[in-house]
Structure 1
Amino acid sequence: MATSEEIEKYCRNCVSRDFVNGKGLVCKRTGELPTFEEECDSFEQDKELERLAPPKPEDFPVSMTEEEMLAEENLPKGILCAVVACIVGAVAWGLISVFTGRQIGFMPIAIGFMVGFAMRQGKGIRPIFGIIGAALSLVSCILGDFLSIIGYISQDYEMGYFQVLAGVD
């Protein structure tokens, strides 16, 4: 014989369930508390409830072991992607700063996010990936600030950008 908790758990998945104050979970068909022993003859699975249910652990792929993750690491690929993001971020910082005439405060955050995301392409789990990503983010911020200063100078002195860049010692 099923306990009242087991019966309630069973009935929660039925389309004929209802809740009545003072009684609790009842059957819509009879208007009474469930009285079956093991299974209800009129049970009908609630598909909407099943669709809204959170995913089960078996719905996710099996996680990888640390050895498998280490085998998939690719530091050169991560560094290459992060260097490209570093350069793109620095150029974007310079262009945005020169065209708007302001240093926007969220640019370092955006560059850090972009370089970090690019570094993840190397699928690294060791700390060196984070250290290199942070260093490249810093380099990108410094380079972006430098490029924006060159842009300001070229505007102020009405010189070409590359002419000013070539004159930097």
Structure 2
Amino acid sequence: MLTLQEQLKFCRTCQKRQLDPQRGIVCSLTNEKPTFTDNCPNYQIDSSEAQRLASVEQEAIAAEKESNDFFSPEKKGIKMGVVGGVIMMIIALVWFFLGWQAGYIYFYPPVLFVIGIYAFFRGIVKGNVSGQD
């Protein structure tokens, strides 16, 4: 037996769905929330809505994957081209010298500086000066 959430997943892509402002998605035939157990006998797929929901779900998965990525800020900097590379190099230099003045040597600023150099030259080669690519 399906839960209400699983039933509503079917209803979201059905041509017979209707939106009730107080109750949400309901069936236009019964004007009620879904009551079927496994499959709705009146289900007719709304292809465009099913395709739209699938693309929204794919975008959400991609965004979640990108946000969980450890190097996400660096990837965004690389996409910004020359400007992103310069910004990363400046951050790396400031971070390194402030840490050095405080008596600490952090390992990541040199790595960030190298990533900035890569982004800088990649931006030059691709003609991506300000993140337009």
TM-score, L = length of structure 1: 0.33
**What TM-score do the two structures reach when normalised by structure 2?**
0.40
